[in-house]
Amino acid sequence: MSALIPALIAGAVVGLALGALGGGGSVLAVPALIYLLGFTPAAATTAGLIIVTATSLTALFAHARAGNVRWKAGALFAAAGLLPAAAAGATASRLPQPVLTAAFAVVAALAAVRMLRPGRTATGPAAGEARAARAAGTGAGLGALTGLLGVGGGFLAVPALVTVLAFEMRAAVGTSLLVISANSLASLATRGATTAGVDWAVVGPFTGTAILGAWDGKRLAAKVTGPLLRRAFAMVLLAVAAFMLVDALT
């Protein structure tokens, strides 16, 4: 019972982030599972994938109804990342837990910095072809990180869609949820043996409130400007990254 209230609160925050920002679910869920609910880093990454898969599918449905999903680009991103996600997920358990925690923090910080300094919009007649190639390459990298770090990839997909493919923020948020869902499912497929030890008494309520929070997040995204969402997303990532990096190095 003592873990139920923190699980419910953390789930609501994770769902709000996924619904409003199209990412940040795992990057918030994994620290919450470790520091609030006592999970080991390995167990937290698996549980985080379960939570984020269910929540991102719910949020994807809501954003699709609003026309915020670029299906072609999202499918290319997702397809390119499936095999890397599965391969990296199979090797993640062999790495020391402090290394995983530090890597998680560094990647989150780099994504935040890029969100605060978005790249230029691609232009010219070959922009479409160049974007497709960049989408495939970036998608493969995101898939590998998803499998390795146990994250859905949204906190990296959103910056990539904004800065590499020049998506406006709402389209990046909606499309990233497609990428998150596909990458999370691929990574979970390689972690089947580890899901047997998941504490469902905690993960179940966490997931339930996250799903409810995702609907509220979707409504919030419709009321807040894209640049403000992007800056808020980046600042949350920086704060979480700093906390986890300090913890990994001490």
65-111, pLDDT tens digit by residue?
Answer: 889 899 988 888 888 888 887 788 777 767 787 887 788 788 778 77
Tell me how far apart the alpha carbons of residues 184 and 157 are, in angstroms, rounded to a whole number: 13
The DSSP secondary structure of 148-195, one letter per residue, reads HHT--SHHHHHHHHHHTS---HHHHHHHHHHHHHHHHHHHHHTTTTGG
Spans in the chain with pLDDT lower than 50: 120-126
Asked if residue 21 lies in contact with residue 221, where contact means CB atoms within 8 angstroms, the answer is yes
Return the pLDDT at 69. 92
Return the pLDDT at 167. 84
Tell me how far apart the alpha carbons of residues 217 and 220 are, in angstroms, rounded to a whole number: 5
Tell me how far apart the alpha carbons of residues 150 and 166 are, in angstroms, rounded to a whole number: 27
Query: Which three-class secondary structure state does DSSP give residue 145?
Result: helix
Tell me how far apart the alpha carbons of residues 201 and 47 are, in angstroms, rounded to a whole number: 12
Return the pLDDT at 118. 56
